[in-house]
Amino acid sequence: MFRREYKRAWLAVLRLTLPATSLKKALYHLPQNVLKCVAQPLRFSDFFIQAYSDHGSGIIGILALDGLFLLITEYGLEYRNFYSQLYKLVSTRVMYAKYRTRFYSLMTKCLVLNAMLPAHLVAAFIKRLCRCALSGPPSSVLFVLALVSNLLKKHPECNCLIQRKEGTEMEDSFVADEDDPVKCRALQSSLWELIIFEKHYYPAVATLAKSIGRVEEDNTPLYNVEEFTNHTYASLFDQEKKKKSKTALTFTKPSSLFTDDDIFFDTMHARND
């Protein structure tokens, strides 16, 4: 009786035209605090699907997919476009969003735990993640590289992305602006983005990028991606401060502002005279 009335009350509220702030709160609250407590949770599927279709490129879409994922995996909701919708949400913008940790966790579950995903779909996510991470913060780059490493180990058929012939130039066939993972032609592309990450200013990013695709990496366990989801600039900075490293210094006290081979040395010497 209580569960039925609780469901009716929530459905009545969700039929109202909610402002964006209230809609976010509802989407954040519903999956864990309502759907698991009411009878017939699938009655909420239309609300989640509609929330995504109206706000598919922002945080509201991310929160809506959280509820959809729960309805699909635990309550049998059939939603064919789930991975296409998830693909649309992958952007540089989401890597700076307040709820990025929740999105990262959801995306990891969807991609890593499902071993039946076709190669072209996995390749599409790998390419889009790496392309967006080029403009993302180092904390998000670490997450992306760890997830990409896990996906390549789980789906070795995608290793062709990093096993292209060296010394030959090729045009990137990946269509970055295409929101359909089937049409983006990711599997015909290559992960040239890894070369960029290998030269990243943050050493941990460069080290992780260099390890991806190596033969010895195939036998190593999967990364615990959850360890990378909560990183921020502050946490990475604190990690670096705790490291104790000795740096060799060779220092000679300069005799003047410019060295002997500097073009301004003669000018400065003449003024002193």
- Helix 138-154 and helix 233-242, axial crossing angle in degrees, nearest 10: 90
> Tokens standing for 109?
């579950």
Helix (H) / strand (E) element for 47: namely: helix 45-54
Q: Are 69 and 60 in contact (CB under 8 A)?
A: no
For tokens 């991470």, the residue is 133
The Cα 85–Cα 20 span in angstroms is 20
| SS3 state of residue 127 | helix
The Cα 257–Cα 240 span in angstroms is 33
| φ/ψ (deg, to 5) at 204 | -65, -35
| SS3 state of residue 139 | helix
Closest CA to 213 of 161, 147, 175: 161
Is the overall model pTM greater than 0.85, yes or no?
Answer: no
The string of DSSP letters for 216-265 reads GGGGSPPP-THHHHT--HHHHHHHHHH------------SSSS-TTSTTH
The Cα 262–Cα 257 span in angstroms is 10
| 6-44: pLDDT as tens digits | 888 999 999 988 898 999 899 989 998 899 888 889 999
**Helices and strands (DSSP H and E) totals, the chain:** 13, 0
The string of DSSP letters for 17-36 reads ---HHHHHHHHHHHHHHTTT
Q: Are 103 and 27 in contact (CB under 8 A)?
A: no
> Tokens standing for 269?
């010497």
Q: What is the pLDDT along the chain (273 residues), one digit of tens a residue?
A: 678 888 889 999 999 888 989 998 999 899 988 998 888 899 999 999 888 776 555 778 888 888 888 898 888 888 888 898 889 889 998 898 888 888 898 899 889 888 789 999 999 999 999 999 999 999 999 999 999 999 999 999 999 898 765 555 668 899 999 999 999 999 999 999 999 999 999 999 999 999 998 877 777 888 888 888 888 878 888 887 777 665 555 666 767 766 666 666 665 555 555
Q: What is the DSSP letter of 164?
A: P
